[in-house]
Homo-oligomer: A and B are copies of this chain.
Amino acid sequence: MQLSGIRVIDLTRILSGPFCTMLLADMGADVVKIETPEGDPVRAQGEIVDGLSWYFASFNRNKRSVQLDLKSAAGMAALRRLIAGADVVVDNFRPGVMERMGLGWEQLRALAPGIVHTSVSGFGQSGPYVDRPAFDFIAQAMSGFMSMNGTPETGPMRSTLPISDLIAGCYAALGTAAALVRRLRTGQGERVGASLVDGLISFGAFASADFLASGKLPVPTGNDHLLVAPYGLFTASDGEIAVAPSNDAVYQKLLHVLELTHLREDPRFATNALRVKHRAAINAHVNMAVSRHDKAHWIATLNTAGVPCGTVMNLAEVYSDPQVLSQQMLLEVEHPGHGAVRMNGFPVKFSEAPCAVRLPAPDPGAHTAEVLREAGLSEAEIAAVSM
């Protein structure tokens, strides 16, 4: 696999950091999850089946768990031994905590020259908000994302999913992999940072660019597209379809499939700009036409004609969709004592050395002795820190 043999000491908990290290572990890194006696709080979150949180299971696959009391000198000594043999350390503590633990950058480098230290934070590693507690919802609010999600009627709306945590985790994994490239070529270590707010700001795309160019604030448009019409959800005989004719050529194809080619003569709809102006009128024509057949008909005929079209799927539909299953986006992972646990597959595909589930999510401290023995600790030293 891509990261086989890369040893990661994972000090993260909850979501953003564990997602980063899951991505690294899925690509073959040996991720050692350090847990305090309390364990990762996610072990007690979400649906618990026979004592196992499937949320925890899905974000901690392919990791080994070492439980250490980091308030004890022996626990910290063991952690330092592990770091000394590692390529990467990942944390999602509030900035300053690593320094207070005696694991600041200079100390890490002294332990392991060439180490890559990756930190996920709410607002970055410096600046006026550096000491604030971070949370996905707050990052959604402070990044501008909420101001653009929803509609003018709903007002600013959070995404139900914790997207700022996940984006930050993804960027942290990217930065880690890139730093490993540099390390392999130069021997140099690196400090990598990703934050919930910065990551979500970077997702502003054309909305950010247009605001910075024009000074005009973007309007949340819900299922309409600010600059394209027709576009959105339309109601077939058995439910809604999403239709996205992205440019004028695709609009012409849409008219053809919907048998609306007579609208080509209508001056109100002659250009996309005019159609945006007459959005309600063109949408009414499309809705009338779409209502004549069922979803399956339109999915087939519109896509064949080159018009992007799909149904709005709930998770039950997603996880039974033939395309999703063909991409192995639903995995069943055998957990000893718990049977098969279903979880998301791998979002990054590799043809030559694909991602794989080598290990189910670990019980707390399941690999304490094994990992410490690999690091060269004596049985007495291991016994001294075992719980």
Contacts and interface: CB of A to CB of B under 8 A. Distances in A.
A322 interface: yes
B349 A192 contact: yes
Interface in A37-57: 41, 45-47, 49, 53-55, 57
A101 to B, nearest CB: 18
A313 B144 contact: yes
A182 interface: yes
Contact of A181 (B177, B345, B351): B177
A314 B217 contact: yes
Given A177-B178, A349-B194, A138 B199 contact: no
Given A222-B157, A327-B123, A318 B142 contact: yes
A77 interface: no
Contacts of A197: 323-324, 327
A188 interface: yes
A158 interface: yes
Interface string A339-352: 00011111111111
A23 B313 contact: no
Interface stretch (A65-73, A168-176, A260-268, A273-281): A168-176
Contacts of A318: 142-144, 201
B181 A144 contact: no
Given A148-B160, A175-B348, A134 B209 contact: no
A190 interface: yes
Contacts of A62: none
Contacts of A23: 174
A323 B207 contact: no
Contacts of A192: 348-350
Interface string A146-186: 11111100101111111101110011111101111110110
B184 A315 contact: no
A127 interface: yes
Contacts of A31: none
A157 B158 CA distance: 12
Nearest to A117: B351
Contacts of A145: 161
A76 to B, nearest CB: 24
A132 B174 contact: no
A171 B351 contact: no
A210 B46 contact: yes
13 contacts: A2-B175, A58-B208, A127-B326, A128-B326, A129-B303, A133-B306, A138-B309, A141-B310, A160-B221, A193-B350, A202-B346, A208-B344, A212-B343
